[in-house]
Structure 1
Amino acid sequence: MATTATAARAAAKPATRRRALGRRLQRPGAWFVLPAVALLIVFFTYPLLSSLWQSFFATSGGVSTWVGLEQYARLFKDPLVGKSLLNAGIILVIQVPLMIGLALGLAYLLNQSWLRFRSGFRLFTFLPAVTTLVAYAVVFRVMLATDGGAVNQLLAFVGVAPIDWLNNEWWARIALIGAITWRWTGYNMVIILAGLQSIPAELYEAARIDGAGRWQIFTKIVIPQLRPVLIFTTVTSTIGALQLFDENFILTEGGPNDATLTPVLYLYKVGFRQFDFGYASAIAWLLVVITAIIAIVQFRLMREKP
């Protein structure tokens, strides 16, 4: 029995040494991770919790006063909150399906082996995604100017009267949707193209052997295989539409008549023009909740059915 116990202790020693060595090797890794964790806490976790805490205060004369849920109750009485959410909803319902549809069509076309100069077309389509938001928004503002804008000059060339793009409510929305679509279609196209290229060629060959046509291959093979990619692009595009700020701020500053006012732009105006940071924080958290709900609903609707 003593011999058996001695043998067991001798066998356990190497395992103990390996565990101790493993712990020593993990310590440097923890130090390497520490800067990233510190940055995450300082620039993400702390501002997030600070904004939530600040939403329960109201500032008057430089003095902050605890008001509880009063800022959140104020959201339901503010007509501009409803108007900004309506504008974001209009952009979301029109722009996101339009952009994802265009990106899917372009990706499918640029994935065809018979297409010549595919690399050049892919580069040309993706170029808008690498332009800065401010630069391209300024260019669109110049192009869409009522007097002397390039777009109205082209319309006049074909006999169409000039359109007041940025000073009419619905035309301003259309101009904003067009600008966003131009900017982000190529970005989503590249993601969908990567998904297309990951589909095994054997699936296409098997479908052709069974007599499937192009449309059947597209609907029965391509779309189901792209489901995770389409979910990702749709959810990220939805979040982007709800967080829209740069384009409408530069193009119209939320006008005309608040037709292009979005929640983030309204948040900016409340926080950095009216210096009502408590109410701005409440708007931000309302947007967080709405974004999370929409993302969850989209995941549930688009997930693969058993």
Structure 2
Amino acid sequence: MKKKITGQLSNRKLINPRTAPYFFLAPSIVLLIVFTLYPVISSFILSFQSMSGAEKYFVGFDNYARLFRDPIFYKSLGNTFQILIVQVPIMLSIAILIAVGLNSSFIRFNGFFRVAFFLPAITALVAASLIFMVILDGNYGIVNYLLSLVGLDPIDWLNDPFWAKVSVIVVMTWRWTGYNMVIFLAGLQTIPKDLYEAAGIDGAGKARQFFSITIPQLKPVFIFTVVMSTIGTLQLFDEAYILTGGGPNNATMTITLYLYETGFKYFDFGYASALAYVLVVIIAIISWIQMKVVGDS
């Protein structure tokens, strides 16, 4: 009996209570190091290297210096910022208006409409993009058919530089407006109704209540959605890749799409890694500026 008790006590001491949390966290830490930390460090080192066949050799800052002489880099960066400046404000404006409407008691079947607006965010992007390619087809698309019914000329949506960019913006807005609407809706439901009742007693109309109560109370939500939407747009890849392939004439070439083609089409992994880290710095700077501007306003 004594030996049995001694064995149980020794088994209990196999794991020290102080080190037990680290023991259980070890698998996650190992996975984080192998699949996140190691690729980040490896790609950073690769950005200072170039490849000749399977051999790597150190080139210093040549890959970064090459960025300043690369017209496609400036083109892709400009395209990305143009889409960002136009798409994010439009998307967030529509999202807040829909959220306010669905948060009111005037619209019936709110649950149905909330699900309907959110569905695009969980729809397979490849399938959705293929559908939009059919809808926006210059010859047989339903959009041009509707335009012809009102006497307007057809538009070559995916092959004209301007309209191709518009098409990408439309698809992005369709996909992510519902996602941001849900975030705004959650924020709206945390605003005390007493504020609106007091404002109504003081004679404030719905518009005044919206700008004096709703918008200020949603300030943290606005910071979150603006920063996250900006980061997502700066990483824009899927829509441009599937709809237009970056064309026509690089009109929809985004920085992430250019990074992908540089690495996996031309196998210039050193330069692609340099592009990736420049993008990281750009995202960090813009996010910091947005948080300071929106947070201090």
Both proteins in one fold, TM over 0.5 = yes
User: 2:138 corresponds to which residue?
Assistant: 146
Q: Distance in 2 between matches of 1:26 and 1:213?
A: 60
8 Å Cα contact 1:268-1:280 kept in structure 2: yes
Greater mean deviation of Cα atoms: 61-70 or 271-280: 61-70
Q: Distance in 2 between matches of 1:208 and 1:25?
A: 58
Identity between Structure 1 and Structure 2 (%): 54
1:254 paired to 2:283: no
Q: Closer, same or farther in 2 for the Cα pair 1:115/1:48, shift >3 Å?
A: same
Correspondence 1:91-102 to 2 at 5 A:
91-102=83-94
Tell me the CA shift for residue 24 of structure 1: 4.1
User: 1:13 corresponds to which residue?
Assistant: none
User: 2:108 corresponds to which residue?
Assistant: 116
Q: Distance in 2 between matches of 1:244 and 1:78?
A: 20
User: 1:5 corresponds to which residue?
Assistant: none
Q: Distance in 1 between matches of 2:215 and 2:200?
A: 16
Give the CA RMSD over aligned residues: 1.4
Amino acid at match of 1:61: G
Instruction: In structure 1, list runs of 5 or more residues that go unmatched.
Output: 1-20
Amino acid at match of 1:68: G
User: SS at the partner of 1:293?
Assistant: helix
8 Å Cα contact 1:88-1:262 kept in structure 2: yes
Greater mean deviation of Cα atoms: 110-119 or 293-302: 110-119
User: 1:196 corresponds to which residue?
Assistant: 188
Q: What per-residue deviation string (whole Å, max 9, x for no partner) do you get for residues 99-133 of structure 1?
A: 00000000011000121111111111111111011
User: 1:161 corresponds to which residue?
Assistant: 153
1:213 pairs, out of 201, 205, 215, with 205
TM-score (norm 1): 0.90
Greater mean deviation of Cα atoms: 156-165 or 179-188: 156-165
TM-score (norm 2): 0.93
Q: Which runs of 4+ in 1 moved over 2 A?
A: 23-32
Q: What is the number of equivalent residue pairs in this alignment?
A: 284
User: 1:273 corresponds to which residue?
Assistant: 265
Larger Cα Rg: Structure 1 or Structure 2? 1
Greater mean deviation of Cα atoms: 293-302 or 155-164: 155-164
Greater mean deviation of Cα atoms: 174-183 or 37-46: 37-46
User: SS at the partner of 2:19?
Assistant: helix
1:242 paired to 2:234: yes
Greater mean deviation of Cα atoms: 27-36 or 138-147: 27-36
